[in-house]
Every structure is written in structure tokens, then in C-alpha cells.
């Protein structure tokens, strides 16, 4: 049995044609949106409904999973300081990703993601271009790596970078 593979990508400020080209180059069949809020005022073409429509017209499926796999939880006890920030905050330093990874909601999201990836080529998507600055690497990829899934980051220039375990986090499987 072959090892499961899941791609990640950030939309950043890509033109939609460039974003689609990146997905198509990796033969992505399903894009799973892991943004907590699936909207973008800076890149409105990446808002949930618009993105779903464009992807569908290019033969790529779309699923929203931010309520399970988003990087901005609404529960204060999932933040290191016990406070849910508002606005532009440094979520990577504020969210306790090990605590998030232990929640039943997150585990359901991971299980659903793994089920989807068992039957088609899947990419998870957030807004941040650099995976090192995004929860898709600091949370989701770490859980997947610990579950023996190969995680490949699609970078802005079209190159692929294998996700590596973070040394400061022991295990997000809890």
C-alpha cells in the first residue's frame, strides 16, 4: 500500500490563473479550504463561493473545512494567554496548536481529510503563501506527518517542498 500524500498551498495574492496552474501542475482533484474565515478582502476572487465556482469550472472539487481545521479557534483555552485575539494578530505565536490537535473537532477534521485523500489527490489551502508562517504547516502538516502522510507544500514559484517535522513540537497526535 502506498503512503498517502496531501499537498498544501497558500493563495496569497496570486491571480486566479496562476493559482489554478499550480493546482493543475500537481494534478490536484480536490481543494480543502482550511481558513477559519473563507473570505478575503484583499483577494476577493479567493472568497469561498467565488473559489468554489471557479474550481468547479476547472474540474477541481472544493470543500470548506475551516470549522474543523482552521488556525484561529474561537475558544480562549486554545490560546497560550487564554484570550481570543481580534484583528491582525500573530496567531502562530498565540494559538496552542498542541491543545488544538487534541480537540475532538480537529480530530474529526483530520479523519475527514484522510478519508478524502484516500480516494483523490487533495491539497489543503490557506491564505498565507509561506507554509512556515501558516497553521497548515505548524498544525495540520505536523499531525499528518505523525500519521505517516507525506505532506508536500506547493510554493509560490511552483516548486514543491516536503514538509518537515518541527523540532519544538513533540507530537500533535496527543
pLDDT band at 97 (very low <50, low <70, confident <90, very high): very high
How is residue 142 written as a grid cell?
505536523
Instruction: Look at residue 172 and tell me if it is in a domain.
Output: no
pLDDT in tens, 115-159: 999 999 999 999 999 999 999 999 999 999 999 999 999 999 999
Closest residue by Cα to residue 139 from 95, 104, 86: 95
Instruction: Look at residue 91 and tell me if it is in a domain.
Output: yes
Number of domains in the chain: 1
pTM to 2 decimal places: 0.93
Given the C-alpha cell 484583499, which residue does it identify?
42
Q: What percent of the chain has pLDDT over 90?
A: 88
What is the number of alpha carbons within 13 Å of residue 105 lying toward its C-beta?
A: 13
pLDDT in tens, 32-56: 999 999 988 888 899 999 999 999 9
Q: Is the pLDDT of residue 168 over 70?
A: no
State residue 14's pLDDT score: 92
Ordered DSSP codes for 15-79: -HHHHHHHHHHTT--EEEE--SS---SSSGGGSHHHHHHHHHHTT-EEEE-HHHH-SS-S-GGGB
Where is average pLDDT lowest: 21-30, 32-41, 52-61, 108-117? 32-41
Instruction: Look at residue 173 and tell me if it is in a domain.
Output: no
Range of the domain at 114: 5-127+136-162
Instruction: Look at residue 16 and tell me if it is in a domain.
Output: yes
Instruction: Look at residue 114 and tell me if it is in a domain.
Output: yes
Instruction: Look at residue 48 and tell me if it is in a domain.
Output: yes
CB neighbours of residue 171 within 10 Å? 12
Instruction: Look at residue 56 and tell me if it is in a domain.
Output: yes
pLDDT band at 2 (very low <50, low <70, confident <90, very high): confident
Q: Is the pLDDT of residue 1 over 80?
A: no
State residue 170's pLDDT score: 47
Q: Burial of 131 by CB count in 10 Å (0-12 exposed, 13-18 middle, 19+ buried)? A: buried
d(CA 135, CA 35): 9
Amino acid at each position: 500500500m502506498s503512503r498517502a500524500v496531501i499537498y498544501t498551498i497558500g493563495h496569497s495574492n496570486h491571480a486566479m490563473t496562476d493559482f489554478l496552474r499550480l493546482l493543475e501542475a500537481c494534478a490536484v482533484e480536490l481543494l480543502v479550504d482550511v481558513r477559519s474565515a473563507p473570505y478575503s478582502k484583499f483577494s476577493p476572487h479567493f472568497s469561498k463561493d467565488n473559489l468554489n465556482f471557479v474550481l468547479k469550472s476547472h474540474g477541481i472539487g472544493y470543500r470548506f473545512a475551516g470549522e474543523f481545521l482552521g488556525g484561529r479557534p474561537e475558544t480562549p483555552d486554545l490560546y497560550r494567554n487564554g484570550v481570543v485575539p481580534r484583528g491582525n494578530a500573530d496567531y502562530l505565536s498565540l494559538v496552542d496548536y498542541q491543545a488544538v490537535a487534541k480537540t475532538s473537532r480537529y480530530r474529526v477534521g483530520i479523519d475527514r481529510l484522510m478519508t478524502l485523500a484516500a480516494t483523490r489527490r487533495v491539497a489543503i489551502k490557506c491564505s498565507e503563501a509561506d507554509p512556515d508562517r501558516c497553521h497548515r504547516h505548524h498544525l495540520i502538516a505536523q499531525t499528518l506527518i505523525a500519521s505517516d502522510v507525506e505532506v508536500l507544500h506547493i510554493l509560490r514559484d511552483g516548486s514543491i517542498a516536503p514538509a518537515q517535522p518541527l523540532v519544538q513540537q513533540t507530537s500533535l497526535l496527543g
